[in-house]
Amino acid sequence: MSDTPNKLIEGATGPWEIVLGLEIHAQVASKAKLFSGAAVGFGAGPNAQVSLVDAAMPGMLPVINRHCVEQAVKTGLGLEAQINLWSRFDRKNYFYPDLPQGYQISQYKDPIVGEGAITVERDDGSIFTVRIERLHLEQDAGKSIHDLDPNMTAVDLNRAGTALMEIVSHPDMRSSEEAAAYVKKMRTILRYLGTCDGDMEKGNLRADVNVSVRKPGGELGTRCEIKNVNSYRYIQQAIEYEARRQIEIIEDGGAIRQETRLFDPAKGETRSMRSKEEAHDYRYFPDPDLLPLVLDPAWVKSIQKTLPELPDAKRARLAAQYGLSTYDAGVLVIDAARADYFERAAAGRDAKLVANWTTNELLARLAKDGLDIDASPIPSDDVAGLVKLLEDGVISSKIAKEVFEHMWAGEGTPARIVEARGLTQVSDTGELETLIDGLIAANPGQADAVKEKPQAVGWFVGQVMKATGGKANPATVNALLKAKLADT
Ligand code: MN
């Protein structure tokens, strides 16, 4: 669904197109698990958050967590997707040491959410659409730990039974950049909705990437699935490697085997994990312990009313209301907290200036120190204060950068810093005139040069700035120099 030319990869036999579809596993923001009352949390001691249901003790029965269902519906509404008022849980049967039931409770033929779509921005600002095939609820498995003991595998079931939303896209992405941009956008939407915290480091948002290659416009190729990639960089590296691998095999006369592969970040390679199983291998069947999930349309409507302003709408509003570029507005809406910060600072101020200081200076400094905007040492009021000093001509933008550094160091409000450090701009014409007269008298050669070449006035501006420690008002200096050099 790209509306700009696809990025092609050059092979020995000509160009190839990458076709990508993603399955995102997003952990539902919930205090309890999907079918038990056990707590969900990161960092608890091993097996400290496991109920008898999660441990699959005989005779235990699952009970659906209403909050998790609400979160899935809310997400479906946020993705402008079909909400299925009738859905069902199925058992997906397979054995794994960290899956004590011997099956995963998931949704197969009848997921809670059907077709939807999201728009995604590429780095160059262009936009493409990714269609969502479905979103279903399912349980997470536990964790096998292989590096505690040389001869044994340890199992931690804290994660077992945690609610996941599996969001399946159509194969609408054509480059590793598009895939990363899609995951970023999905993460932003989920965080706006408050249905998943999007913490990729903790594994709360991870992607399975389906990769195939084809000649442009040709038949879809056989795909390989790369499991559980949990950073944007790894997603891109895994795709780039995997596409090249497939192209080389096909160009050497081979065929791609459908399989599940693992990405090894240390080597930057994917390697075969198991031959890909088909859906029928799992012997899905409706879970007899659970009734079909039937939703009241009035309840769905009441959830719709709780939806916040979503990123696309917020970007359009910020651009229109504050006269920002789509790009700047896009940077601000990546995180709802950023947009809130901007709007607080922009109230009654020059919004474009506020946006510049927020996106260029503040966000860059926060990124450098690995901080979220919520942890910014500079409150939004102080960005507003800095912009006011600029608007009033009290400081130049050069001095503002210096003031910003002191703000970052926690020296107080911008007004206090300017006063305490004597950084007020010199707009006093008399003081500047004396300085300029002296400079012209001492440098007649430079003054003549300006008559030949007006741009040479920059040299004088530089000298005045140097002499005033950057505090001279540039507009005043330019006006005075123009008048005086024309007179001589
Ligand atoms: Mn899944």
Domain that holds residue 417: 311-421
The pLDDT of residue 2 is 46
Q: Are residues 334 and 359 in the same domain?
A: yes
Q: Which of 225, 252, 251, 250 minimizes the C-alpha distance to 239?
A: 225
Final residue of a domain: which of 303, 337, 362? 303
Q: Are residues 40 and 129 in the same domain?
A: yes
Helix (H, G, I), strand (E, B) or coil at 93: strand
Final residue of a domain: which of 364, 389, 421? 421
- Judge contact between 132 and 81, C-beta under 8 A: yes
Cα of 25 vs centre of ligand 1, distance in Å, is 7
Tokens 């659409």 appear where? Answer: 129
- pLDDT above 80 (res 42): no
- Judge contact between 411 and 459, C-beta under 8 A: no
- Judge contact between 114 and 161, C-beta under 8 A: no
pTM of the model: 0.86
Cα of 385 vs centre of ligand 1, distance in Å, is 49
Q: Are residues 318 and 459 in the same domain?
A: no
Q: Which of 282, 284, 278, 353 minimizes the C-alpha distance to 323?
A: 353
Cα of 473 vs centre of ligand 1, distance in Å, is 62
Residues 363-379 have pLDDT tens digits of 999 999 999 999 999 99
- State how many domains the chain has: 3
Cα of 138 vs centre of ligand 1, distance in Å, is 7
Final residue of a domain: which of 421, 451, 468? 421
Residues 255-291 have pLDDT tens digits of 999 999 999 999 999 999 887 677 788 999 999 999 9
Q: Are residues 383 and 459 in the same domain?
A: no
Cα of 205 vs centre of ligand 1, distance in Å, is 12
**Non-local CB neighbours of 141 within 8 Å, separated by 6+ positions:** 96, 98, 99, 104, 159, 160
Burial track 8-37 (b if 16+ CB lie within 10 A, e otherwise): eeebeeeebbbbbbbbbbbbbbbebbbbbe
Residues 87-119 have pLDDT tens digits of 999 999 999 999 999 999 999 999 999 999 999
Cα of 335 vs centre of ligand 1, distance in Å, is 27
Task: Assess if residue 335 is contained within a domain.
Answer: yes
Cα of 210 vs centre of ligand 1, distance in Å, is 13
Cα of 104 vs centre of ligand 1, distance in Å, is 9
Q: How many residues does the chain have?
A: 488
Residues 290-307 have pLDDT tens digits of 999 999 999 999 999 999
Residues 182, 310: Cα–Cα separation, whole Å: 16
Structure tokens at 110: 């009848």
Task: Assess if residue 3 is contained within a domain.
Answer: no
Cα of 168 vs centre of ligand 1, distance in Å, is 9
**HSE-up (13 A, CA, CB side) for residue 207:** 27
